[in-house]
Amino acid sequence: MSEKEIGIITHWFDKIGVAVIKLTDTLSVGDKIKIKRGNEEFEDTVASMQIDHKEVSSAQKDDEAALKLSNKAHEGSKVYKIE
């Protein structure tokens, strides 16, 4: 499986477990992603995504998408799509 960098986490909402990702490529619901920061990394599947508080099925380059994640993420973490 290959990994392609698709964005960076710009904000983390700890109470609700949501990360805001500034995208450099496309991302869709159902995609497998990996979050990496230093030695920490985990994989997740995009179950839902919002842009401006509206549910969307995909996001494009330069969008800021909010994703619910299963683990805690940190601002500045890189996001990769697993293909």
pLDDT in tens, 34-57: 999 999 999 999 999 999 999 999
Strand spans (E) along 14-63: 18-23, 27-28, 32-37, 40-45, 49-51, 54-56, 58-59
- Sketch the domain layout of the chain as residue ranges: 3-82
pLDDT in tens, 70-79: 999 999 999 9
Query: pLDDT at residue 17 above 90?
Result: yes
Cβ burial of 42 (10 Å; 0-12, 13-18, 19+) is middle
Query: pLDDT at residue 1 above 90?
Result: no
Q: Are 21 and 79 in contact (CB under 8 A)?
A: yes
Q: What is the mean pLDDT of the chain?
A: 96
The first and second tokens of residue 42, run together, are 């985990």
- The CATH superfamily label for domain 3-82 reads Translation factors (2.40.30.10)
